[in-house]
Chains A and B, each alone.
Chain A
């Protein structure tokens, strides 16, 4: 290659400019189209930041993974997302890379390596770790680059992710595009940090600061960074200094910036500067650059024109891509009858629920090398605070059973990213109460990835979580039943076993399911309830309830440990001449309304029982459906019974009365049958 004093090969510089020109053409066309009223969508301009992805595009391939944010159109263009598919997506069209279901802030295009785009600031970083885990465990040579702005450095998710990546030496690059503005707020206002790259050193890995507006030095710096990460030396944090010339959202100038400062920054902007450099260095003629720019403009114009002609994604698409199987989506009047499990393997062993969970995980890990466990304290000798993973780290090693920092966003994000790459992670987050510190990764990301991407990607992950409440002594923050939160977030499957046999079979189904599944395990049951559990592998299908006691006067519908309270209540009611049928939902999503309605048709009365707060609880949903569907067959309105509207108290006297027990159920059932 020809030598020059540019510190970059002329052909590389020209190729970088080629990408800059494409990005510039896209940015210009969007701003012009929005200004003219040609189309309407929300745009977060990246004008001024073109050099960063344009340069990186010359150092990575489509096999390398990328995550970016809503302000990431430049990243998408340089990564190789098809422009027609991208514009069709931004316009909500069927031909969009994600069927018009995600829009430009949620592009997911595995064919180019643009895996996840998030509109939640900082949320991509934990997910990037998961992609990096998959690359590392599979012995692939990929790097994962997660782009975010300087504003994202303030949020906990980024810190959690950086800490985990450092601890596990993951092949991930945290690429902070420092454009001096966090939305409408500039750096000295939101942080007193003198820089951002220094935070990596504090977490034990490499951080560098590069001029993201100078292609030659940025190319050189990023080349070293990428080689470092590809070489298995752990993550790197890159602070790429640039400047955002547009507003947070919309078109035009960054009107919050001092006008003189903006003028200076415009003069230093990378696109024109790089263009001039190509001419001054004699690499390209004016004509050559003009034709390169014209080609870029034509590519963009053609893509937009075609996208504007394409079909708007119709409302008939509403329920597809929520789950792998549209049949699992709950909706009025749709109550599929799913086949129940057949006979289970005959050889059994007495197991507690904890042992049944351990057994399901052990079988899954032996069978599939891509099943791995991560969570706080999951390693041996304890094997998790509830011992549900005991011995697995010893048998399968430190990469299959990964004790994590106390950082739930990092845990869920790592599981999620690895599942998007096709692995089958099982993340344990101890208490359901801890959903509060990672709910963004659960309901905004895991739940929605399939939908937002139009099924281009999905998250076949499992979350195991333990629920307290009603047993005394754990207090308000370790005793809650949070299933209604999860059930109100479309895209999550939830199971809640009431016994060891179901726990093993449901967990096996969750691990093998193509959608994100959450298994809630009752602390009340993990050690206290033993059962004869088949020793071989078996599955309990999702969305299949079970009549566990037959009766004729009233149907008690429940799940988890409260199901056992319902069974005890049925026993008491029998003594008083009331015959209660008990239905164990087992799966809360998908729900088996078919078997619920069949039972209530027979008894004419229904009470849904759960440990969760009654107000706005799952019982209200089920009771309402029963009342609507069986109005003319009911002898009494279907009702529900759950916990009082109060945090769980420390006082046993309060706790044992605020969460329903068998006595509460008996009393309510007698009222219902009398009425």
Chain B
């Protein structure tokens, strides 16, 4: 079963966030809890951990702003 990664909504006021940097390369194996990307919002920057173990499939470019809920990757 794969796990979809979407731009999270971390705050009531958060509408969008910047996927600042992928820490894990596309196609690499990750373990649940590994930091996979860096997220920046107007309030904070934050390391986002893998919600599951598996192979990371990147589906969005780093350095771009995405609306909350946008699919940015998948762990398969």
- Name the segment of A249-257, A362-370, A448-456 touching the other chain: A249-257
Q: Are A36 and B9 in contact (CB-based, < 8 A)?
A: no
Given that A36-B3, A36-B5, A37-B69 are contacting pairs, would A251 and B51 also be in contact in the complex, using a CB cutoff of 8 Å? no
Q: Are A36 and B51 in contact (CB-based, < 8 A)?
A: yes
Q: Are B51 and A35 in contact (CB-based, < 8 A)?
A: yes
A139 to B25, CA, bound (A): 66
Name B's interface SS. loop
Chain A residues with Cβ below 8 Å from B59 are none
CB A121 to nearest CB in B, in angstroms, measures: 15
A89 to B53, CA, bound (A): 28
Given that A34-B9, A34-B10, A250-B11 are contacting pairs, would A40 and B44 also be in contact in the complex, using a CB cutoff of 8 Å? no
CB of B62 within 8 Å of the partner chain: no
Chain A residues with Cβ below 8 Å from B6 are 36-38
CB of A33 within 8 Å of the partner chain: yes
Candidates B10, B43, B44; contact of A35 at CB < 8 Å: B10
CB of A350 within 8 Å of the partner chain: no
CB of A285 within 8 Å of the partner chain: no
CB B6 to nearest CB in A, in angstroms, measures: 3
Chain B residues with Cβ below 8 Å from A249 are 11-12
B20-69 residues with Cβ-Cβ distance < 8 A to A are 43-44, 46, 48-51, 68-69
Q: Are B3 and A252 in contact (CB-based, < 8 A)?
A: no
A32 to B43, CA, bound (A): 19
Q: Are B48 and A35 in contact (CB-based, < 8 A)?
A: yes
CB A173 to nearest CB in B, in angstroms, measures: 31
Q: Are A250 and B14 in contact (CB-based, < 8 A)?
A: yes
Chain B residues with Cβ below 8 Å from A489 are none
Q: Count of chain B residues with Cβ under 8 Å from any Cβ of A?
A: 21
CB B74 to nearest CB in A, in angstroms, measures: 11
CB of A42 within 8 Å of the partner chain: yes
The winner among B3, B4, B9, B14 for most chain A CB atoms within 10 A is B9
A251 to B5, CA, bound (A): 16
Q: Are B5 and A37 in contact (CB-based, < 8 A)?
A: yes
Name A's interface SS. loop
Chain A residues with Cβ below 8 Å from B8 are 34-37, 40, 251
A37 to B14, CA, bound (A): 13
Q: Are B4 and A252 in contact (CB-based, < 8 A)?
A: no
Candidates B11, B12, B51; contact of A32 at CB < 8 Å: B51
Chain B residues with Cβ below 8 Å from A40 are 8-9, 68-69
Q: Mark A343-374, 1 if CB is under 8 A from B, else 0.
A: 00000000000000000000000000000000
A640 to B44, CA, bound (A): 54
Q: Are B43 and A255 in contact (CB-based, < 8 A)?
A: yes
Q: Are A33 and B51 in contact (CB-based, < 8 A)?
A: yes
Candidates B5, B44, B72; contact of A252 at CB < 8 Å: B44
Chain B residues with Cβ below 8 Å from A37 are 4-9, 68-69, 72
A42 to B48, CA, bound (A): 18
CB closest chain-B residue, reference A43:
B10
Chain B residues with Cβ below 8 Å from A255 are 43-44
Chain A residues with Cβ below 8 Å from B44 are 247, 252, 255
A38 to B72, CA, bound (A): 12
A272 to B44, CA, bound (A): 26
A40 to B69, CA, bound (A): 8
A209-226 residues with Cβ-Cβ distance < 8 A to B are none
A445 to B43, CA, bound (A): 33
CB closest chain-B residue, reference A38:
B51
A246-266 residues with Cβ-Cβ distance < 8 A to B are 247, 249-252, 255
A252 to B10, CA, bound (A): 8
A542 to B3, CA, bound (A): 54
Chain B residues with Cβ below 8 Å from A38 are 3-4, 6, 51
A494 to B13, CA, bound (A): 37
Candidates A35, A42, A247, A250; contact of B49 at CB < 8 Å: A35
Candidates A33, A36, A42, A252; contact of B46 at CB < 8 Å: A252
A34 to B48, CA, bound (A): 10
Chain A residues with Cβ below 8 Å from B14 are 250
A249 to B12, CA, bound (A): 7
Chain B residues with Cβ below 8 Å from A247 are 11, 44
A252 to B8, CA, bound (A): 12
Chain A residues with Cβ below 8 Å from B50 are 36
A366 to B3, CA, bound (A): 64
Chain B residues with Cβ below 8 Å from A251 are 8, 10, 46
A249 to B7, CA, bound (A): 17
A157 to B46, CA, bound (A): 37
Q: Mark A379-408, 1 if CB is under 8 A from B, else 0.
A: 000000000000000000000000000000
CB A252 to nearest CB in B, in angstroms, measures: 5
Q: Mark A19-47, 1 if CB is under 8 A from B, else 0.
A: 00000000000001111111010100000
A250 to B69, CA, bound (A): 15
The winner among A33, A35, A37, A250 for most chain B CB atoms within 10 A is A37
Q: Are B9 and A32 in contact (CB-based, < 8 A)?
A: no
CB closest chain-B residue, reference A42:
B12
The winner among B11, B46, B49, B69 for most chain A CB atoms within 10 A is B11
CB closest chain-B residue, reference A249:
B12
Chain B residues with Cβ below 8 Å from A34 are 8-10
A42 to B12, CA, bound (A): 6
Given that A36-B5, A37-B6 are contacting pairs, would A250 and B12 also be in contact in the complex, using a CB cutoff of 8 Å? yes
A119 to B43, CA, bound (A): 23
A37 to B52, CA, bound (A): 12
CB B45 to nearest CB in A, in angstroms, measures: 9
Chain B residues with Cβ below 8 Å from A36 are 3, 5-6, 8, 48, 50-51
Q: Which 7 A-B pairs have the closest CB atoms?
A: A37-B6, A36-B51, A250-B11, A250-B10, A37-B8, A40-B9, A255-B44
Q: List 18 A-B contacts (CB under 8 A).
A: A35-B10, A35-B46, A35-B51, A36-B51, A37-B5, A37-B6, A37-B7, A37-B9, A37-B68, A38-B3, A38-B6, A40-B9, A42-B12, A247-B11, A249-B12, A250-B11, A252-B44, A255-B44
Interface positions of A (Cβ within 8 A of B): 32-38, 40, 42, 247, 249-252, 255
Other than the given A34-B10, A35-B8, A36-B3, 18 more pairs (CB < 8 A) read: A33-B51, A34-B8, A35-B46, A36-B5, A36-B51, A37-B7, A37-B8, A37-B68, A38-B3, A40-B8, A40-B9, A42-B12, A249-B11, A250-B10, A250-B11, A251-B10, A251-B46, A252-B44
